[in-house]
Amino acid sequence: MNLFTDFPSDREEKREALPVSRLLRRMRNLLEIEIGEVWVEGEVSNLRKQGSGHWYFSLKDEGGQIVCAMFGARRRPGSEVLEDGAKVRVFGEVTVYEARGTAQLVVKEAEAVGAGALQAQFEALKRKLDGEGLFDASLKKTLPKFPTRIGIVTSGSSAALQDMINVLSRRAPWVTVYLSDVLVQGKGAERGIAKAIERIGNWKENGLPECDVVIVGRGGGSLEDLWNFNEEVVARAIAACPIPIVSAVGHEIDFTIADFVADLRAPTPSAAAELVVPERSELEARVQTLGGRLQRRLEEGIRQREEALRYLKRTGVATSADAVLREPMTRLDDATERLERGMHQVILNRENLIRELSVRCRANRPSVVLARRGERLKNLGARQESAMEANLRKKEAALARLQSLVEALGPASAFERGFSITMDSDGKVLKDASLIKSGMRLETMMKGGVVSSTVD
């Protein structure tokens, strides 16, 4: 191959450039046409759930990663398996997000991969049912202390059933076991388990005996073997059952959705049988203890009554009917006397009350009341007349004092001392001689009368 470094290129000749948006659009068209929709497998990381309902995350493996978007995620199949760290397989369209210039996978559906898929489904259903309140402790029913009819939902040919029967026979041989033989493994087994639980719960409608408690379970196995007890239909059947249910699935380290919904979880089927019935030896010991207490009480009661009987024999009370009735008759006489005294006292109290009421009635007769009020009115009138006379005397004395004061300060007293008052013809007092003119008509008041004069 020959390389010509000095040959002019088209870029140097034309010098034309594409806008960024047009370049990104070409890239998007190329990816959507050449690759289009594909399945991609990887690990979820940096999951962001937006309030708009769109989810954004990265899908990565050891060699790289790609940005993913799931629009309207909650409506998309398999969205519940998307969690950080989950290994998933997604189906979507490869495109370019032009605003950032990055390749993007628009996811339309997702599914978990391998064992991680089952675990993801387990966690998703667990969160869902827990959100609905099916795991609340307030919904748990109390197991009966002494059940006589026990229902078991399991495989009739399983070793777990034999273990439970052996434990029940040893601990409580009086109980009756009712078996609902179902498949506990394989496709569709969950429907049979749920149907059996529903039949036991609706025992009247199905013509079945009423059980006191129900054990639902099976022996150990892998996660796939126990998976039927992680199905939603089984969980809802357990939650809806009116009879207390004990979940006994697998070994102690195994946990299923049925364990969380049931009223009690047992680590193994054998442990479930031990939990639902008391130990016979413990009951026998309890009965013996209670029997001993009852016997001691009976013996003590008999001893007390024997002692009372001996006392009666010693006192001779029981020698004759008269002696037996003497004390009751005495008590009757005492009671009669107390009753008579009580009645006499009641009558006296009533008579005193009647006398008191009679006095009150006489004191409050209309004539007495009117007379009493007339006397009071008379007294009030006298008091008012006396007060008025005293008030008049006080006013007369004040008037006399004022009259003396007027006489002492008035003009008459000045006339007595030789003074006079000169006025013009209009009656105006002339206080200054300069006001008097020739020809004026004057009137002069003095002791003894008024003198008229004319000024020359």
Looking up tokens 């005495």, which residue turns up?
A: 330
Q: Which pLDDT score is estimated for 249?
A: 92
Residue 168 CA to residue 279 CA, distance in Å, equals 9
> Do 246 and 211 form a contact (C-beta atoms < 8 A)?
no
Q: Which pLDDT score is estimated for 12?
A: 47
Q: Which pLDDT score is estimated for 103?
A: 87
Report the candidate in 237, 235, 266, 281 with the shortest Cα–Cα distance to residue 163.
266
Report the candidate in 275, 276, 271, 193 with the shortest Cα–Cα distance to residue 230.
193
pLDDT band at 123 (very low <50, low <70, confident <90, very high): confident
Residue 306 CA to residue 316 CA, distance in Å, equals 15
* Radius of gyration of the CA atoms of the chain, in A: 61
Max distance between CA atoms of the chain, in angstroms, equals 173
Residue 258 CA to residue 319 CA, distance in Å, equals 77
Lowest mean pLDDT among 114-123, 321-330, 365-374, 379-388: 321-330
Averaged pLDDT, 336-347:
84
Q: What percent of the chain has a predicted confidence (pLDDT) above 70?
A: 91
Q: Which pLDDT score is estimated for 29?
A: 86
Averaged pLDDT, 193-211:
93
Residue 48 CA to residue 210 CA, distance in Å, equals 51
pLDDT band at 2 (very low <50, low <70, confident <90, very high): very low
Q: Report the 3 state secondary structure along the chain.
A: CCCCCCCCCHHHHHCCCCCHHHHHHHHHHHHHHHCCEEEEEEEEEEEEECCCCCEEEEEEECCEEEEEEECCHHHCCCHHHCCCCCEEEEEEEEEEECCCCEEEEEEEEEEECHHHHHHHHHHHHHHHHHHHCCCCHHHCCCCCCCCCEEEEEECCCCHHHHHHHHHHHHHCCCCEEEEEECCCCCCCHHHHHHHHHHHHHCCCCCCCCCCCEEEEEECCCCCCCCHHHHCHHHHHHHHHCCCCEEEEECCCCCCCHHHHHCCEECCCHHHHHHHHCCCHHHHHHHHHHHHHHHHHHHHHHHHHHHHHHHHHHHHCHHHCHHHHHHHHHHHHHHHHHHHHHHHHHHHHHHHHHHHHHHHHHHHCCHHHHHHHHHHHHHHHHHHHHHHHHHHHHHHHHHHHHHHHHHHHHCHHHHHHCCCCEEEECCCCECCCHHHCCCCCEEEEEECCEEEEEECC
pTM of the model: 0.44
- Beta strand pairing call for 421-424 and 245-249: unpaired
**How high does pLDDT run on average in the chain?**
84
Q: Dihedral, CA atoms, 240, 241, 242, 244, nearest 10 degrees?
A: -120
> Do 243 and 151 form a contact (C-beta atoms < 8 A)?
yes
Cβ neighbours around 342 below 10 Å, total: 10
Residue 11 has pLDDT above 70, yes or no: no
Report the candidate in 223, 282, 284, 286 with the shortest Cα–Cα distance to residue 254.
223
Q: Which pLDDT score is estimated for 209?
A: 92
Instruction: Give me the residues paired with residue 443 across strands.
Output: 423, 452
pLDDT band at 7 (very low <50, low <70, confident <90, very high): very low
What are the residues whose beta carbons fall under 8 Å from the beta carbon of 109, sequence distance 6 or more?
A: 76, 77, 78, 90, 91
Q: Which pLDDT score is estimated for 58?
A: 92
Looking up tokens 């025992």, which residue turns up?
A: 203
Residue 236 CA to residue 134 CA, distance in Å, equals 8
Residue 316 has pLDDT above 60, yes or no: no
What are the residues whose beta carbons fall under 8 Å from the beta carbon of 354, sequence distance 6 or more?
A: none
Q: Which pLDDT score is estimated for 18?
A: 81
Q: Token pair for residue 421? A: 């008052």
> Do 288 and 280 form a contact (C-beta atoms < 8 A)?
no
pLDDT band at 116 (very low <50, low <70, confident <90, very high): low
Instruction: Give me the residues paired with residue 207 across strands.
Output: none
**pLDDT, greater one: 438 or 319:** 438
**pLDDT, greater one: 273 or 332:** 273
Q: Which pLDDT score is estimated for 1?
A: 29
| Per-residue model confidence as pLDDT tens digits over 360-387 | 777 777 777 788 888 888 888 888 888 8
